[in-house]
Amino acid sequence: MAKVSVPVSLPEWLHGFLRKIKRTIVPKAPAPIDLSGDRDIEWAFICSRIPAKEGYLLDFGCGHGNLSMQAIQRGYEVLAVDLQAHRFLWDHPKLKIVAGDLLALNLPESSFDVILNCSTVEHVGLSGRYGVDVPETDGDLTAMSLMRRLLKPKGCMLMTIPCGRDAVIVPWHRVYGAKRLPRLLAGFEVLDEQYWVKRSDNRWQPSDKEAALNFFPTGHPAEGTKCSYALGCFVLSPKQTTGSNDS
C-alpha cells in the first residue's frame, strides 16, 4: 500500500512551542573551532611589549605593515621584510620595505635592537604557499638561528606561533609542541611567555603551557584560517656567550 503524506496546519503558537522543544532536545551543533581572532591576541601581545625607545627594528613577515607602524610610533627605524611584495597604504622616512627571503639578504649580524616575528617563522621552508617551491624541513630552525645572530646581545624578539601537538599542516604552517618548540627556542632565553586556546564557543581564552601544547590542531584543505591550533606568545633574548659584545 502506498503511503500518502497529508500536510497538517498548526497554529503559530503551537508550531513555535514544538520548535522550542526540538531545540532543547536536539541542541544546535556548535560552530567548528577556527583561527578567527588570532591576530587580535598576537598584535595586542606584541604591541604591548615593544620597548619605547629609539633603535633599529626588523619586522619579519611584515604583511601590510600593521606592526611596522606600531614600531615607528615607538621611535624605531624599521626594516620590513616579506617574501611577497605588499603595498603599504602609508609611507614614512623611518621605513624601508624589502620583498625577499630573509635568509638571502646578507644582513649584518648584531644589527637589530628588536625583531618582530608574528606568526611567520612557522611558514619558513614549507612549499605550496607564499611562493615557496622547494621545501626545507628545518627552514624555521635556520631562520631562528639567523635572527638570533641578527639581534644585538641585549636585543629581544617578540614572537607568536602556532602551538599544540607537534604537527606540520601542509601547506599552511607548522605547529609547535613538546618536541619542536624547544628546538625552535634553542639559543634564546624566554623572558616572557603566554598561551591561549579556543573554547568550544570559538573564543580565545588564556591557557597554561601544558594545555596549549596538548591541543589537537586541525587542518583544512582549502582555507588556512579554518585550521585550528593554540597560540604561543614569547619575549626572547639571545643567550649570552663568553666574550659577547654588550652593546
Query: Residue 79: which domain range?
Result: 35-238
67-84 residue pLDDT tens: 999 999 999 999 999 998
Q: Does a structural domain hold residue 116?
A: yes
Q: Does a structural domain hold residue 147?
A: yes
Q: Does a structural domain hold residue 67?
A: yes
Query: Does the bond joining 171 to the residue before it have cis omega, within 30 degrees of 0?
Result: yes
- Number of domains into which the chain is organized: 1
At residue 11 the predicted structure's pLDDT band, cuts being 50, 70 and 90, is confident
Q: Which residue has the cell 503551537?
A: 14
Q: Does a structural domain hold residue 10?
A: no
Say if residues 23 and 87 touch (Cβ distance below 8 Å).
Answer: no
Q: What gap in Å lies between CA 112 and CA 71, rounded to an integer?
A: 13
Q: Does a structural domain hold residue 30?
A: no
Q: Kindly report the pTM of this predicted structure.
A: 0.85
- Residue 61 is classified by DSSP as T
Check which CATH number belongs to the domain holding 183 and give it. 3.40.50.150
Burial class (CB in 10 A: 0-12, 13-18, 19+), 16: exposed
Q: Does a structural domain hold residue 9?
A: no
Q: Does a structural domain hold residue 186?
A: yes
Axis-axis angle for helices 66-73, 38-47 (nearest 10): 20
Q: Does a structural domain hold residue 154?
A: yes
Q: What gap in Å lies between CA 49 and CA 163, rounded to an integer?
A: 20
189-247 residue pLDDT tens: 999 999 999 999 999 999 999 999 999 999 998 999 999 999 999 999 999 876 555 44
Please name every residue paired with 236 in a beta bridge, in sequence order, or none if there are none: 157, 190
Q: What gap in Å lies between CA 117 and CA 206, rounded to an integer?
A: 20
